[in-house]
Amino acid sequence: MTVSQSTHNSPGLGPLPAVARDRAADLHFAFVGNLQQVRVTLDAIDAEMAGRNLCPDARDNIQLVLAEVLNNVVEHAFRDRADGALSVTIEIGRDVLHCVVLDDGAPMPGLEMPNGERPEVVGIAVEDLPEGGFGWFLIHRLSEALHYERSEAGNRFTFRLPVARN
């Protein structure tokens, strides 16, 4: 069974032209899904990005979006497990990173990602301010072609991150 949902009309752009592909530049991290391992992985990815002449804003966005997606998997899909398998693969194109995050955890509720609406905060009384809901907003806001697919193997999130270079 495969259930798909996409926020944009195309779930993926299909194969990239060969010229924009650099197979040797792909990054792949597979690890046991916990919050500490997410930190270690984010640091490793940032170290990889440091040498790639990206503008600082792009590097910051990569860290933030991956942090939100990976932590969401650990806190929700792996809620009751310490042995969840999590992986992130990043295919580095010229102007964009193609990211794939796989986990073998519980499905998204309703087999859909939460929408990316920004939680209302302006003009809200302090005691009523939301403490959650910012993560999916940031993911939707900073990524492109965000897509979620559930299969028997688990959850698969794909998205692109633009990388303006210096």
Residues 7-66 that bind other proteins (CB under 8 A): 35-36, 38-39, 56, 60, 63-64
- For residue 12, the minimal CB distance to other proteins (Å) is 26
Among 8, 28, 79, 141, binds other proteins (CB under 8 A): 141
Segment contacting other proteins by CB under 8 A, of 10-18, 70-78, 83-91, 147-155 = 70-78
C-alpha distance across the termini of the chain, in Å: 44
* 55, 19 contact by CB (below 8 A): no
Return the exposure string of 85-99: e unless at least 16 CB atoms fall within 10 Å of the residue's CB, then b.
bbbbebbbbeebbbb
The residue among 41 and 91 lying less far from other proteins, judged by its C-beta, is: 41
- Does residue 164 touch other proteins according to CB under 8 A? no
Strand 3-6 relative to strand 96-103, pairing = unpaired
Q: Is residue 100 within a helix (H) or strand (E), and if so which, with residue range?
A: strand 96-103
SS3 of the chain: helix, strand, coil, percent, to 5: 35, 25, 35
Task: Please state, in angstroms and rounded to a whole number, the distance separating the CA atoms of residues 136 and 143.
Answer: 10
What would the x/- binding string for other proteins be over residues 89 to 128, using CB under 8 A? -----------------------------xx-xx-x-xx-
Binding-site ranges for other proteins (CB under 8 A): 35-36, 38-39, 56, 60, 63-64, 67-68, 71, 74-75, 118-119, 121-122, 124, 126-127, 129-132, 134-135, 137-138, 141-142
